[in-house]
Amino acid sequence: MTVRLRAARADDQAFLLTALFHAAHANEEPGVLPGHLLGNPALARYVVGFGGPGDLGVVALRGDAPVGAAWVRLLVGAERGYGWVDDDTPELAIAVLPEAVNTGVGTAMLTELLARARERFSGVSLSVRTDNPARRLYVRLGFEPVAQATNRVGGMSETMWLRFPRG
């Protein structure tokens, strides 16, 4: 799918919530809508207030319509996310809309995001279910598991970390 990438902005929060809805597989739960995630602090923290100094993201547009987003946030202290590794490493969230899955959009977004993140951070971490095919994409782009997979609601999840070489 041909898309255009641009930097994610504070006014993208509604779309980031939709992307998070897919990334967290909340779309598989009957009756759950993206807005419901705002009532879950462990998920809402990936989106609410996006646009601050620890935030970086890209949005993929088809025409003028967003079809995917990939972003990182520095989530530390009590705001730690599922993929926390240390207080210097932001966590990744990524999803494309169902009609754009497996069309190269995710690879394009993540490659661009990592190129930008490399200029600001020492690495990027994430949490992924071990049975999520997205894991292959992460491995291809250099992420490595950092700990034993743990059992969470919805199945086994693992933390992965891409450390940028110091240059």
- Tell me how far, at minimum, the Cβ of 166 lies from ligand COA, in Å: 27
Q: Between 53 and 102, whose beta carbon lies closer to ligand COA?
A: 102
Locus of tokens 């759950």: 32
Residues at the contact surface with ligand COA, assessed by CB under 6 A: 22-23, 94-96, 100-107, 128, 132-134, 136-137
Query: Minimum Å distance from CB 57 to ligand COA?
Result: 13
Identity of the amino acid at 124: V
Centre a 10 Å sphere on the Cβ of residue 81 and count the other Cβ atoms it contains. Answer: 21
Supply the minimum distance, in Å, between the C-beta of residue 111 and ligand COA: 9
In contact, 40 and 51? CB cutoff 8 Å? no
CA distance 98 to 102: 9
Residue closer to ligand COA (CB basis): 69 or 74: 69
The answer to whether residues 97 and 90 touch, using CB atoms and an 8 Å cutoff, is no
Q: Give the number of C-alpha atoms closer than 13 A to the C-alpha of residue 17, restricted to the C-beta side.
A: 18
Cβ proximity to ligand COA, 23 vs 114, nearer residue: 23
Q: How far is the CB of 108 from ligand COA (least distance, A)?
A: 7
Nearer to ligand COA, 102 or 151 (CB): 102
- Rounded CA-CA distance 96/63 in Å is 15
